[in-house]
């Protein structure tokens, strides 16, 4: 009789055996001494137990259709030149552009790095606001390029006039303008008219990277995607991700959409390290509008409910269009964050200079209940201010 044990049963059995024996893998049993810190299983258990509202993830993960598609792709996990569901062509068709306008990345984080390397390699400057998503700034610093960080306006919106003026003033040294729309961590959009004003207001040979990671959550009709600028042949790169609405942050898939000559330049810096499963999952995601609509509605309903509760307690929240929002606690964020962690809830890190604002990602209904329960212990209700928005 053959002793065939499926890999899943084997892994499950090994974990169960360790559990029965009260042993932690890594505590000598596996023959290796581990560095100080939690053993992997303990680490995973601790992680799993938290309400994870710190990284703007989708708490539901991929839809059933996506999981099914990814499961059929396991058979390619031992191959190189496997059928990939025509992911690049499918994405291109989704946007009405050509495959030559798409560059895949292992998450849009890779796309942002690739854009940074491509356009800042000669020690040029990148211009954008602070606080924002900092990957491009990190790339710039790593390669000795300069970052010009512009403050947000008093209402926490991005100051487009200042961005135009700064770009013009530094024109000869500017390699890239970065516009995160909507902005992370504020969650606030840049209206389409302002994006146009920016593109029309700066020299047309300055590339503008427009990060639309949270595009799918937006309801505000003043927002529009910037993909049409690519079709116009403008010097625009739009970054998109499957990490947020499609729930695949751990699987890593994102892409840039840009005129073919820019994609060609960027290709030199790309790693091509996208895996077989996520390619098939990505194809399925784009043909699952019901799954997408469900995540959007569930997330936005929970965001609105949570914001309304906080405003009723007298706390100001910024007008987010994303799967997260910022609330002004009036207390140092690091201290507030630790108090939440002690109660099993992970919330956003500090975003200088907004050090008394807390960024909260929208989790499941249960996670949001845990968040509100912790909030009530940490931050007492205040006298409500007018419309609750003050
Ligand atoms: C604005 C923004 N851009 C890009 C990313 C990168 O996401 P990923 O690399 O998972 O696609 C994030 C992740 O939080 C983000 O907030």
> Per-residue pLDDT tens for 312-327?
999 999 999 999 999 9
Specify the residue for token string 């912790």. 374
Which of 286, 315, 340 terminates a domain? The answer is 286
Structural domain contains residue 297: yes
| Residue 145 alpha carbon to ligand 1 centre in Å | 21
The answer to whether residue 310 is domain-embedded is yes
Q: Do 70 and 139 belong to one domain? A: yes
With the most atoms of ligand 1 within 8 angstroms of its CB, the residue from 54, 110, 129, 244 to mutate is: 244
In a domain, 387, yes or no: no
The residue with tokens 């212990």 is: 377
For residue 243, give the ligand 1 atom closest to its CA: 10
Does residue 188 sit in the same domain as residue 316? Answer: no
Question: Are 200 and 120 in the same domain?
Answer: yes
* Element housing 339 (H / E): helix 333-342
- Domain assignment present for residue 232? The answer is yes
Distance 253 CA to ligand 1 centre (A): 10
The pocket around ligand 1, CB under 6 angstroms, is made up of 56, 107-109, 133, 180, 184, 211, 213, 241, 243, 249, 254
Report yes or no on 108 lying in a domain: yes
Give the CATH number of the domain where residue 252 resides. Answer: 3.40.640.10
Supply the CATH number for residue 351's domain: 3.90.1150.10
* Closest residue by CA, ligand 1 atom 6: 109
Rounded to an integer, what distance in angstroms lies between the CA atom of residue 279 and that of residue 88? 9
| Centroid of ligand 1 to alpha carbon of 3 (angstroms) | 45
Ligand 1 midpoint to CA 108 (Å) = 6
- Could you give the number of structural domains in the chain? 2
Q: Would you give the DSSP letter of residue 381?
A: -
pLDDT tens for each residue of the chain, 390 residues long: 333 333 333 233 333 333 333 333 333 333 445 556 778 888 898 999 999 999 999 999 999 999 999 999 999 999 999 999 999 999 999 999 999 999 999 999 999 999 999 999 887 999 999 999 999 999 999 999 999 999 999 999 999 999 999 999 999 999 999 999 999 999 999 999 999 999 999 999 999 999 999 999 999 999 999 999 999 999 999 999 999 999 999 999 999 999 999 999 999 999 878 999 999 999 999 999 999 999 999 999 999 999 999 999 999 999 999 999 999 999 999 999 999 999 999 999 999 999 999 999 999 999 999 999 999 999 988 865 544 433
Residues 182, 329, single domain; the answer is no
**Mutate which of 114, 241, 278, 348 to test ligand 1's pocket (most atoms within 8 Å of Cβ)?**
241
**pLDDT given at position 39:** 87
**Residue 36: predicted pLDDT:** 65
| CA of 80 relative to ligand 1 center, distance in Å | 27
Q: How far apart are CA 110 and CA 80, in angstroms?
A: 21
257 Cα: distance to centroid of ligand 1 (angstroms): 15
Mean pLDDT of the chain: 90
Residue 162 neighbours by CB under 8 Å, 6+ apart:
150, 151
Residues 85, 224, single domain; the answer is: yes
The pLDDT score that the predictor gives to residue 24 is: 35
Which residues neighbour 243 within 8 Å (Cβ) at sequence distance 6 or greater?
A: 57, 58, 107, 108, 213, 249, 252, 253, 254
Question: How many whole angstroms from 184 Cα to the centroid of ligand 1?
Answer: 9
- Among 129, 188, 243, the mutation site with the greatest number of ligand 1 atoms within 8 A of its Cβ is 243
What are the E-state strand segments in 234-372? 236-241, 254-257, 324-328, 345-347, 357-361
Q: Which long-range contacts (CB under 8 A, 24 or more apart) does 89-92 make?
A: 90/282, 90/283, 90/286, 91/255, 91/282, 91/286
Question: Residue 128's beta-bridge partner residues?
Answer: 149
Cα–Cα distance measured from residue 246 to residue 107, given in angstroms and rounded to the nearest whole number: 12
* The predicted structure's pLDDT at residue 26: 36
């Amino acid at each position: 009789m053959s002793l065939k044990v499926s890999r899943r049963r084997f892994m499950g059995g090994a974990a169960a055996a360790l559990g029965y024996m009260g042993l932690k893998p890594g505590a000598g049993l596996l023959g290796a001494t581990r560095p100080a810190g939690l053993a992997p299983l303990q680490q995973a258990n601790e992680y799993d137990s938290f309400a994870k509202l710190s990284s703007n993830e989708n708490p539901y993960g991929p839809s059933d259709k996506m999981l099914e598609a990814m499961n059929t792709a396991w058979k390619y996990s031992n191959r190189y030149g496997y059928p990939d569901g025509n992911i690049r062509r499918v994405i291109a068709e989704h946007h009405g552009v050509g495959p030559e306008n798409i560059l895949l990345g292992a998450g849009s984080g890779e796309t942002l790095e690739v854009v940074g390397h491509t356009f800042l390699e000669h020690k040029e400057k990148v211009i954008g606001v602070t606080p924002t998503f900092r990957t491009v700034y990190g790339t710039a610093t790593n390669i000795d390029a300069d970052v010009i960080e512009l403050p947000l306006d008093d209402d926490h919106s991005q100051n487009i006039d200042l961005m135009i003026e700064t770009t013009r003033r530094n024109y000869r040294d500017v390699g890239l303008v970065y516009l995160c729309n909507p902005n992370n961590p504020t969650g606030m959009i840049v209206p389409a008219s302002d994006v146009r004003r920016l593109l029309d207001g700066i020299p047309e040979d300055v590339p503008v990277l427009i990060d639309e990671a949270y595009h799918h959550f937006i309801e505000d009709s003043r927002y529009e995607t910037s993909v049409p600028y690519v079709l116009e042949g403008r010097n625009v790169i739009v970054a998109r991700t499957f990490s947020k609405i499609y729930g695949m942050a751990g699987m890593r898939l994102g892409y840039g959409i840009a005129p073919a000559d820019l994609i060609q330049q960027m290709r030199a810096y790309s790693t091509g390290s996208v895996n077989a499963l996520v390619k098939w999952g990505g194809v399925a995601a784009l043909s699952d509008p019901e799954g997408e609509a469900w995540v959007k509605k569930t997330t936005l309903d929970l965001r609105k409910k949570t914001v309304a509760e906080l405003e009723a307690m007298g706390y100001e929240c910024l007008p987010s269009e994303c799967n997260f929002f910022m609330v002004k606690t009036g207390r140092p964020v690091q201290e507030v964050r630790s108090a939440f962690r002690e109660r099993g809830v992970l919330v956003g890190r500090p975003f200088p200079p907004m050090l008394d604002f807390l960024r909260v990602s929208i989790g499941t209904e249960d996670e949001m209940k845990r968040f509100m329960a912790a909030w009530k212990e940490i931050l007492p209700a205040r006298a409500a201010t007018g419309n609750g928005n003050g």
